[in-house]
Amino acid sequence: MADPETFPCQICGEHKRQNEVVPAELIRASIVDVIVKEYPAWSPKGYICHADLNRFRVDYVRNVLKKEKDEYSSLEETFRHGVKEEDHLPANINVEFEKELTFGEHLADKIAGFAGSWSFIAVFSGILFLWVALNTFILLFRPFDPYPYILLNLFLSALAAIQAPVIIMSQNRQEIRDRLHAERDYQVSIHTELEIHRLHKKIDHLLASQGQRLLEIQDIQMELMEEMAKKTV
C-alpha cells in the first residue's frame, strides 16, 4: 500500500511526496491544454509531479516559439507577395491604349505631333518662302499665283480647316488617356492603402499576441524559480 503522505502523479503514475507534486487545479490553463492533448484523462482534482510538469512547460514554450516563427514567416510571405511586380503594378495603360487605336487615329496623332513641332514650322516657312519667290522673282512674267497670292491663301485656309479637327481629335484621345491614367492611379492608391491597412492589422495582432505569450513565458519562468528556491530552502 502506498504511503498515505504521498500523492500519485497523473502522468507517470508514481507516488511522490507533497513537495514533489503540484495540485492539478493550480496549473495554468495554457499548460493544461498541452497536457490534455497528450493525456485526455487529465483530472483537475489530481496531482502532477514537478518533472512531468516541467516537461509540459518546456513543450508549451517550444510550441509558443514555433507559433511565433510560423506567424513571422507568414507575415514575410505576405510582404513578399505584396511587392511582386505583377501583383503590385498595373498593366501599362499606354501599351493597352495604343493597341485599340485605328489606323486613322494613329495617323491623326502623327500629324498633330508633327504640326506642333519646330520641324513643321521650318518646313512650312520654307514652302511659303519658295512660293513667294517663284511667283515674285523667278516667274516674273507668267506667275501661276501672282500677288496677293490668292491661291496660296486658299491652300492655307484649306490646311487650317483640315489641321484643326485633326489636332482636336488627337487632343480628345489625350484627354481619354489622361483620364485612364487618373483612374488607374486611383485604383493603385486604393490597393496600396488596403495592403498597408492589412499589414498594420496583422502586425498589431502579432505584437499583441507576442506580448501575451511573453508574459506567460515569464510567469512560467517565475514559477520555476520559485520552485527552485523552495528546494534549496
pLDDT of residue 217: 72
For residues 60 and 103, state if they share a domain: no
Full residue range of the structural domain in which residue 108 is found: 90-207
200 and 97 both lie in a single domain: yes
Inside any domain, residue 98: yes
Q: Tell whether 130 and 183 lie within a shared domain.
A: yes
Q: Which among 34, 66, 98 is the end of a domain?
A: 66
Q: Is pLDDT at 30 greater than 60 in this prediction?
A: yes
Q: How many domains does the chain have?
A: 2
Asked if residue 182 and residue 118 are part of one domain, the reply reads: yes
Residue whose entry in the numeric block shows the C-alpha cell 505576405: 78
Residues above pLDDT 70, as percent of the chain: 78
Give the pLDDT confidence score for residue 29 in this predicted structure. Answer: 84
Same domain, 109 and 158: yes
Per-chain mean pLDDT for the chain: 78
Q: 216 pLDDT exceeds 80?
A: no
pLDDT at 100 over 60: yes
Q: What is the mean pLDDT of residues 88-104?
A: 68
> Between these two residues, 218 and 165, which has the higher pLDDT value?
165
Q: Minimal CA–CA distance to 169: which of 97, 100, 104?
A: 104
Across 208-215, average pLDDT: 69
Q: What is the rounded distance in angstroms from the CA atom of residue 23 to the CA atom of residue 18?
A: 9
DSSP of 198-210: HHHHHHHHHHHHH
pTM over 0.95: no
The answer to the question of residue 182 being in a domain is yes
The DSSP secondary-structure symbol of 91 reads P
pLDDT of residue 84 exceeding 60, the answer is: no
* CB of 76 closer than 8 Å to CB of 131: no
Alpha-carbon distances, residue 183 vs 26, 133, 194, 195, 200 (angstroms): 62, 53, 17, 18, 26
Band of pLDDT at residue 227, cut at 50, 70 and 90: low
Residues 122 and 194 in one domain: yes
**Omega within 30 of 0 (cis) for the link into 44:** no
Q: Are 53 and 152 found together in one domain?
A: no
516537461: which residue's cell? 55
Amino acid at 184: R
Between helix 118-133 and helix 103-115 the angle, nearest 10°, is 70
Q: Does residue 55 sit in the same domain as residue 117?
A: no
Name which of 10-19, 133-142, 195-204, 222-231 the model is least confident about: 222-231
With respect to residue 230, please indicate whether it lies within any of the assigned structural domains: no
Check whether residue 109 and residue 198 sit in a common domain: yes
